[in-house]
Each structure stands twice: as structure tokens, then as C-alpha cells.
Amino acid sequence: MQRLHILALIPLPAATRAALASTYTLHDGMDTHSVPWDDIAAVVTNGTTGLSAEQLERLPALRIVCAFGAGYEAVDLGAAARRGVVVANAPGANDETVADHALGFLLALSRGYGALTAAMRAGGWCGLRAARPTLHGATLGIIGMGRIGQAIALRALGFGMQVRYCTRSPRNGLPYRHEPSLLALAGASDYLVAACPGGASTHHIVDGPVLAALGPEGFFVNVARGSVVDTEALVQALRTGGIAGAGLDVFEYEPEVPAALRALDNVLLTPHLAGRSPASQAAQTAALLASLADCFAGREPATAIPPR
């Protein structure tokens, strides 16, 4: 039986590539000259890379687009639906890992781990022992209250934090205070975490006024998408003391990280790996393989995304 052809538009873990290659013929999207475009039955992508309508038109045999993770905002769902192409993702596969990363940022920022480690390595001690903020008793504001937002909130409760959140409407059954206004949420928060989807509806929702409301003692963390934040406004707030610091795992124009951010010592930077752990990648691989198997067997994948 002839193997189906799979095109990976993103780097995949070695174990995922091996699992795909055991059943399918896997092609690397970076090596465009060797891709049999007319034979590609499935594309593996993510929320940042996505798949455009123009790319879809180049793939006449395409049957399914799989997002390796929860995000799929850059996949053209309308174009896929018009072609009868299934789009599936892996919701929940990396929630706990992302939540861990967010809490790590909160602790490291509040206690000054990054700057203090650098100063200690340079031989410092005297003058470094000023009191630092603690999470206990502080207010955490979460932008978005999906799986990741709820996982972050549970961890924050363990540190004795007060939790508030901003979404379009309150989530039933949650014990946290809902703030319909992002400005109000920022004004009430000591720590503000973005854990919402990317896309046009959340583009630059964390802007100058929101950062000003967070204030000079506030910290901002982004484990959502780089597009959620107005980068220029963030740099300005960090430079001028408009906010105390930031932890960023995502950036507007990845993999480019603005030099202005890299030059600041009140920022912690990680290369979009908040969701990466052996456990999360194993779960994402399992979801990917299941979606492919279902689609090619004529079944709707359990994580198929309804067309908009």
C-alpha cells in the first residue's frame, strides 16, 4: 500500500518525526524543492506558522491540517472549509507546562532571580539584599480563562494570591472575580499574565494605557502570543519604570527579539518554549497521530475545529 505524504511546516521533536515516518512519508517544509506538492495529504503546523489560503491552493490532495499544539489562529479556516479540508489541534496537551512556566516567571520576576544571579556572578553581595516583592497576598490578573488560565489560577492559589480575570463574559463555576474591563483588571493587579488566544481580536490588547494601569510596581508576563502586546509600548514602560518588569516567552515577530528588549535587565526572555516538556510533546504527538489516523480512516478527528 502506498504511503500517504505528510508535510511538516514547523520543526518537530525527533520522537514525533520518527512516529510519523513509521507510517507516512514525511517531508520538511523548509526543503521546498523536494516536496511533492500534488501528493501532500496532511500538513503539520502551529498557531504561529499556520496555513494560508494561497498555500492550501498549492496542495490539491490535502485532506487535513494538524496544529501541533492548541493554537491554530494563523490557519485559514474559511479556505480549509471551502476545500473540505479538516483542521484539528491538540487542546490541553501542554496546559500544565505553560502554567508552570508562567508561575516560574512570576517567582523569578518578583524575587529578582535573573538580575541577582548576574550580580552575584560578578562578585556582588553588599547592596543586593534589598527587600523584594512576594507572591503571597498579591493580586494576579489573568487575561483569558481557558485551560491554561485556569491552571495558572490554581497554582496562584497555592501561593496565597488573589485571582481576578478578564474575558468577554464570566465563566460559570469559577471562584475568581471577573473583570469585564482589561484596564480595570490591570489597575487591580500586582501581576498581569496574558494567557489568551492570539489573532485579530486580541491584537495589542495590552497597550500603553493597560501597562500604565498596571503601574510602576506591577509585573507583566506573556505566555500567550506576541501579538497580544504592543511591543513599543512595553519597551517604553520597561525603560521608564512604568512597570517593574516583564517575563516574555513570545514575541511579535518571532524568532526576532527586539534589541531594545534584550538590552533591558528588568526583562526575562525565553524562546517560545513555555509549552515544551517531554510530557507535553508526547501528548501532542499522540493527538497528532490520532487525528491523522481518524481522518484517513474516514472518521472526524476528536479535536476537529468547527469551520467559522
* DSSP strand pairing (191-194 vs 25-28): unpaired
Q: Which residues pair with 206 in a beta bridge?
A: 229
Residue among 239, 254, 299, 300 flagged as catalytic: 254
Inter-residue contact 165 to 188 (CB < 8 Å) = no
Sheet holding 25-28, edge to edge: 25-28, 5-8, 40-45, 64-67, 86-88
Report helix, strand or coil for 93. coil
End-to-end CA gap in the chain: 36
Give the contacts of 235 (CB within 8 A, at least 6 positions apart): 258, 260, 261, 264
Inter-residue contact 219 to 244 (CB < 8 Å) = yes
Whether 272 sits among the annotated catalytic residues: the reply is yes
Whether 225 sits among the annotated catalytic residues: the reply is yes
Alpha-helix residue ranges (DSSP H) falling in the chain: 14-21, 53-57, 77-83, 95-111, 113-121, 147-158, 182-188, 208-214, 231-240, 259-262, 278-296
Q: Is the dihedral of CA 308, 198, 6, 289 positive or negative?
A: negative
Residue among 272, 276, 300, 308 flagged as catalytic: 272
d(CA 79, CA 56): 8
Residue among 27, 164, 225, 276 flagged as catalytic: 225
Q: How many CA atoms lie within 13 A of 211 on its CB side?
A: 27
Three cell numbers at 186? 490591570
Whether 63 sits among the annotated catalytic residues: the reply is no
Catalytic (active-site) positions? 225, 254, 272
